[in-house]
Structure 1
Amino acid sequence: MSKITLKKVTAPEKDHEATIVQLTDETMTERKGKVINAMQNANVDTLVIYCDVEHGGNFSYLTGFVTRFEESLLILHQSGEAFLVLGNENTKMANYARIDAEVIHTPLFSLPDQPMDNEQQLTDVLAAAKIEKGQQVGLVGWKMFTTAGDNRKLYDLPAFIVNGVETLVGSSLASDCVLRAIDEVAVGKTEMEIGSHLVKYGQRTNVFPIAATGERFEHAVISPTDKKIKLGDKLSITTGFKGGLASRSGYAAASAQDLPEEQKAYIEKVAAPYYKAVVTWLENIKIGMQGKALYALIEEVLPQADYHWHLNPGHLTSDEEWMSSPVKKDTTTPLTSGMLLQIDIIPSVAGYAGTSCENGIALADENLRHALAESYPNFWQQIIKRQVYIRAVLNIDLPDEVLPLSSGVAYYTPFFLAKDVAFVKG
């Protein structure tokens, strides 16, 4: 493969998308159909889908909303009949849900000391939602347990809900924020000043925003502080929203000359080899590829023994930043059209700052690309614009089936004070 070099480039235009892409009714109907097909294939009569403020992705996949500070359930039968079990402050949301469902009000899911009108035992509520003895019921939280043992009886739902059922039945905003934060990096600014750019439009983050200069976690503090950026500091910037995360790590420096003597080889020893792995990942990932093949490619260009990366070099993302990962050493799981994946390769080389150019992509076959272009034309034009930039400016041979989910994909300025000097291939 061609070498990796640092050169002056034109930065990608920020997406500046102040509008939300609203999913069509056809898309929501298709989602429900896919879930019901999966239920039929698995001989599951009913799904009980859980939601709370932290984990609502599976619930909102079908309903379009999350219930924030209240617990809630979507109960979906194989017939397509659905029930929403909602607390005091979310019953109104049934009027706006993207799925036809009957509402069952249960104050049990409300905040403490609120009125307990219509109070019922949870078993009675579930029975009203037509869960019956003898049914095969699937419990859906958010976490897919992947330990070596039998995970079928591990539930990431509150015990009172699991007990009730058992009794009855026997990833562009994150990128823009990070790019904007990088634009603001300057010696003398504080972590909090940089961190103020990592949230926008009142949207809830799905990761803990990071703006960390120098040594991290001093006094066990993980939030941005009033610590000021110094020339030559290590620097990390991260945020994430529904749909994906963006992260950058490097130095608050204009060049290697600003680094301590023992760290001046950062580009050759750490950052350039890492970026070569990112380029390899983007140029070679494809639909049908087994997860172990992508893992092996990264191992070849960025040997784990030398660069000490530990987590999967790529994982699925959606409402939650990390869903699961098909990219493992021995897995034969294929990458499929419709997957959203994070470019998550995290080397650790002693004596140097970390290096990170993490963003998300989608895999899309010709049918999906055509459907996106037809149903979401503005979104599709953004995808094309990003692909053109990656190919023309960064010289990366990006396959058509790889859709950059933000303008920052593969754009990496490891020296945060040299704002127009980025890695390119060649």
Structure 2
Amino acid sequence: MPVALRERPLPIVEVPSPPPALSADIYRLRLSTLCRRAHEQQLDTLVVWGDREHSANLAYLTGFDPRFEEAMLILDTAGQHAPRLLVGNECLGYAPDPAIGIEVELWQDLSLMGQPRDRSRSLRDIFVSAGVNDGSRVGCIGWKAYSTLLIGGGSSSPIDLPAFVVDLLRSLVGGGEVNNATDLLMSVDGGLRTINEPEQIQHFEYAACVSSTGMMSLLQHVRVGVREDELERHLDSKGLTLSCHRMVGFGEKARRGLASASAKEAARGDALTTAFGVAGALTCRAGAVANGPHEMPDAIREFSSRMFANYVEVVRAWYGTLSLGATGGEVFAAADEARDPSLFDFALNPGHYLHLDEWVNSPFSRDSTVALCSGMVLQADIIPVSRGPFCYVNLEDGVALADESLRERLRALDASLMRRVERRRRYMIDELGYVLDDCVLPLGNTSGWLAPYVTKLSLALVHE
């Protein structure tokens, strides 16, 4: 099916009322499920680390993301000791809902340097009182699992908690073990954070509305001469935690896709890349500062037109292969088969799991046998690397996968959410030419929509 530039109505953008906070019952169930799985793996204690950059695992379990400081959650998998959250001075007043049943303790070495250290017991005493002793098996949950092959020696289970924590635990367990247990939450196949409750999906849909509305506002203000930092102010997070810094770049700077906004001005024909991520959603667009191919530089006009069109063919193949039971390898293969290898390569996996952090893990790799399941939230994140002259295009949005039962639960929870989802599906199918399985729920307002010449947003790439 060919891809062409056609006049299309813009997608409807809206931000609904914020959903209610997740209940204490949801957090208690997450904690008990994690402890049960850890206990089944003969782990006696879990130590979960969180800091400003790596807070998603801790926030998933507690609703708490540390500010200015680090934090640690200690879990007795047998339930003989209550969950204990260690925080520093400044986070003591920012503790999670007490109804969850987590005991909060001030451990002041988590505080910034120079602050008081006069009200805390030793970390050794804290671990011992939580049941860590000779022979204990402790699982550490940081933010990644690691390849021992790439590290090239040392521990068979590399751990990314600070050395002072790991060293102390190893001295306490003696003949026991201290290992990396991050896969309990983040494994590509069965990690707890890869499947979401209806209430969590409701939060992620709200987040996607926020990020996609901000993105549309930014795109509508692109013009020749506008500065990157003038555009950035349109990326309004509405108080949601950012999952990454706001990104805006023109021209050659767009090669550095992760760069923050500067005072650089847009010139006609420039590449543009911009991304806006909040906890649970990220929206990205890349294209050119032009009204159409006729305003592109001669050196890239023909190549960029073909690359833009083929890129959308790849995205359509990705969406069209999503279904319950399909494997990540099948989705990868469909996207790769649609790609013209003379135009671009994939920079990374074509898509990944999406959660409070922008990238949890990815089932989308060549020959992956991981089956897609109801409750997954996925990011369409296909980053092209040009094989010809530099030009850039990108289209990132999140989707949930939901079987009929989950769709009914979402409808009972928030009927307006499902009306928005159905409107987005109809727009993608009727206006843009996508083929979507019934299980695919577009979460953001701009899902599937790409206007690559960003000073004429009515010109979208569609499948005919």
TM-score, normalised by the number of residues in structure 1: 0.92
Whether the 8 Å CA contact 2:328–2:369 is kept in 1: the answer is yes
Find the residue that maps to 1:48 and give its secondary structure.
strand
Whether the 8 Å CA contact 1:255–1:415 is kept in 2: the answer is yes
What residue is the counterpart of 2:333 in the other structure?
Answer: 296
2:169 to 165, 171, 175: 165
Q: Report whether the alignment pairs 1:269 with 2:306.
A: yes
Find the residue that maps to 1:359 and give its secondary structure.
strand
- Runs of 5+ in structure 1 lacking a partner? none
Q: Are residues 237 and 192 of structure 1, via their aligned partners in 2, closer, same or farther at CA, if it must alter by over 3 Å?
A: same
Give 1:41 shift.
3.0
Per-residue deviation, residues 187-207 of structure 1 (Å, max 9, x unmatched)? 111111112222432433222
Whether the 8 Å CA contact 1:72–1:86 is kept in 2: the answer is yes
CA distance in 2, matches of 1:265, 1:310: 22
Per-residue deviation, residues 279-321 of structure 1 (Å, max 9, x unmatched)? 1111111222222111111111114564222311111121211
Find the residue that maps to 2:365 and give its secondary structure.
coil
Q: Are residues 12 and 33 of structure 1, via their aligned partners in 2, closer, same or farther at CA, if it must alter by over 3 Å?
A: farther
1:278 to 315, 323, 327: 315
Give 1:410 shift.
0.3
Equivalences for 1:42-191 in 2 at 5 Å? 42-80=41-79, 81-94=82-95, 96-97=97-98, 99-146=100-147, 148=149, 152-170=156-174, 172=208, 173-191=210-228
Whether the 8 Å CA contact 1:207–1:241 is kept in 2: the answer is yes
Find the residue that maps to 1:193 and give its secondary structure.
helix
Equivalences for 1:393-404 in 2 at 5 Å? 393-404=431-442
Find the residue that maps to 2:253 and give its secondary structure.
coil
Q: Report whether the alignment pairs 1:326 with 2:363.
A: yes
Q: Are residues 133 and 219 of structure 1, via their aligned partners in 2, closer, same or farther at CA, if it must alter by over 3 Å?
A: closer
What residue is the counterpart of 2:396 in the other structure?
Answer: 358
2:423 to 364, 380, 385: 385
- Runs of 5+ in structure 2 lacking a partner? 175-203
Matched positions, count: 425
1:251 to 265, 274, 288: 288
Give 1:229 shift.
0.9
CA distance in 1, matches of 2:421, 2:273: 27
Find the residue that maps to 2:134 and give its secondary structure.
coil
Whether the 8 Å CA contact 1:6–1:423 is kept in 2: the answer is yes
Tell me the amino acid that sits aligned with residue 47 of structure 2: V
Q: Identity over aligned residues, as a percent? A: 31
CA distance in 1, matches of 2:257, 2:2: 40
Tell me the amino acid that sits aligned with residue 109 of structure 1: L
CA distance in 2, matches of 1:358, 1:273: 16
Give 1:153 shift.
2.0
Indicate the larger mover: 207-216 or 262-271: 262-271
Whether the 8 Å CA contact 2:291–2:456 is kept in 1: the answer is yes
Give 1:33 shift.
3.6
CA distance in 2, matches of 1:220, 1:408: 20
Find the residue that maps to 1:215 and give its secondary structure.
helix
Indicate the larger mover: 308-317 or 389-398: 389-398
What residue is the counterpart of 2:348 in the other structure?
Answer: 311
2:261 to 220, 224, 227: 224
Indicate the larger mover: 37-46 or 275-284: 37-46
Tell me the amino acid that sits aligned with residue 156 of structure 1: D
Whether the 8 Å CA contact 1:254–1:418 is kept in 2: the answer is yes
CA distance in 2, matches of 1:331, 1:148: 20
Whether the 8 Å CA contact 2:87–2:106 is kept in 1: the answer is yes
Q: Are residues 221 and 210 of structure 1, via their aligned partners in 2, closer, same or farther at CA, if it must alter by over 3 Å?
A: closer
Tell me the amino acid that sits aligned with residue 140 of structure 2: L
Indicate the larger mover: 92-101 or 6-15: 92-101
Whether the 8 Å CA contact 1:249–1:353 is kept in 2: the answer is no
2:278 to 221, 241, 261: 241
Per-residue deviation, residues 23-81 of structure 1 (Å, max 9, x unmatched)? 23443343234323322332222211111111111111111121111111111222343
Whether the 8 Å CA contact 1:198–1:238 is kept in 2: the answer is no
Give 1:18 shift.
5.3
CA distance in 2, matches of 1:189, 1:16: 26
Give 1:21 shift.
4.7
Tell me the amino acid that sits aligned with residue 331 of structure 1: S
CA distance in 2, matches of 1:323, 1:146: 16
Give 1:228 shift.
1.2
What residue is the counterpart of 1:405 in the other structure?
Answer: 443
Q: Are residues 92 and 187 of structure 1, via their aligned partners in 2, closer, same or farther at CA, if it must alter by over 3 Å?
A: same
CA distance in 1, matches of 2:392, 2:306: 11
Q: What is the CA RMSD across the aligned residues, in angstroms? A: 2.4
What residue is the counterpart of 1:12 in the other structure?
Answer: 11
Tell me the amino acid that sits aligned with residue 119 of structure 1: S
Q: Are residues 382 and 160 of structure 1, via their aligned partners in 2, closer, same or farther at CA, if it must alter by over 3 Å?
A: farther
Give 1:421 shift.
1.3
Q: Are residues 356 and 385 of structure 1, via their aligned partners in 2, closer, same or farther at CA, if it must alter by over 3 Å?
A: same
CA distance in 2, matches of 1:409, 1:165: 46
Indicate the larger mover: 248-257 or 64-73: 64-73
Q: Are residues 354 and 221 of structure 1, via their aligned partners in 2, closer, same or farther at CA, if it must alter by over 3 Å?
A: closer
Whether the 8 Å CA contact 1:123–1:167 is kept in 2: the answer is no
Give 1:120 shift.
2.6
Per-residue deviation, residues 235-262 of structure 1 (Å, max 9, x unmatched)? 1111111112111111100011101112
TM-score, normalised by the number of residues in structure 2: 0.85
CA distance in 2, matches of 1:203, 1:3: 39
CA distance in 1, matches of 2:20, 2:421: 13
Give 1:407 shift.
1.0
Per-residue deviation, residues 385-409 of structure 1 (Å, max 9, x unmatched)? 3223222322322212111121111
